[in-house]
Amino acid sequence: MIESLSAPVQATLVVGAILVQAVALYVGYGILERVATPLIETMTKT
Q: What is the pLDDT of residue 46?
A: 63
The model carries a pTM of 0.69
Q: How far apart are CA 46 and CA 44, in angstroms?
A: 5
- Report pLDDT digits (tens) over 1-46: 778 899 999 999 999 999 999 999 999 999 999 999 988 888 888 6
- Residue ranges of domains in the chain: 2-45
pLDDT the model gives residue 1: 78
CB 29 within 8 A of CB 40: no
Looking at residue 21, its pLDDT comes to: 98
